[in-house]
Amino acid sequence: MEKIIRTILRKVRNANVNYQLIEKGDRVAVAMSGGKDSMTLLYFLVLLKQRAPFAFELFPVYIDLGWDNQISPMTKYCAGLGCPLQVKSTSIGKIVFDLRKERSPCALCANLRRGALNRAADALGCNKVALGHHLDDTVDTLFLSLLYERRFRVFKPLTYLDRMDITLIRPLIYVEEKEINNFSAQMKIPYVQNLCPADGNTKRAEINRLLNLMENEHLGLRKKILSAIEQADPDSFWNN
């Protein structure tokens, strides 16, 4: 158990050093979904806070979409880490599925959730929002964009939103999903069941399955692709 904790913490530290994700005096809203990624994110940000040579604050935030999720395990988990959970109620689920009746609901839901999260962070006086996207998510996003949008697009470890005056950070950018699965299983982290009707039936899930098959043939594929993303020169996509 100590080995996996050291490994993930080292990767979180490396991401923080390489991209200056969290700095002295930051107030960081941590996006909580109740899944393994966000629960792992909070755990290692707390460890980082304990070991960092500078002070910063953490505020876990849960955006309630109106699914009546049982969030008591997440509430207890956050309290156990010394970070009381902030719950913000919304009608996003009703808007997306009942009022708009979206055939492809994920994009609209994501936009509404991001807006609600950023407003909640602003109300808490936070200047940064930490998201639980990991290495696999980063590479999956690249292929999702390539295959369905016909462009090269991937989210950044650090993104400043000038309209909100908030910076999005992704401290798990170097952490693989299998490491998160291993950590959460050994820690017996409680989860909040995802009640979204579209869960698991998305293009992102399809891309994830495709890349997992490729990983079986080419070990370390996603890590290599992430390394290529970090070193990419836009001109290198074109051969003379």
Q: Tell me the pLDDT tens digit for each residue of 95-123.
A: 887 777 666 677 788 889 999 999 999 99
Domain ranges of the chain: 2-232
Q: Tell me the pLDDT tens digit for each residue of 16-26.
A: 999 999 999 99
The more confident residue out of 83 and 99 is 83
The mean pLDDT of the chain is 90
Residue 202 has pLDDT above 90, yes or no: no
CATH architecture classification, 2-232: 3-Layer(aba) Sandwich (3.40)
Separation of alpha carbons 114 and 137, rounded Å: 17
Residue 27 backbone phi and psi in degrees, to 5: -115, 110
Helix (H) or strand (E) holding 73: helix 72-80
Residue 240 has pLDDT above 50, yes or no: no
Separation of alpha carbons 208 and 219, rounded Å: 15
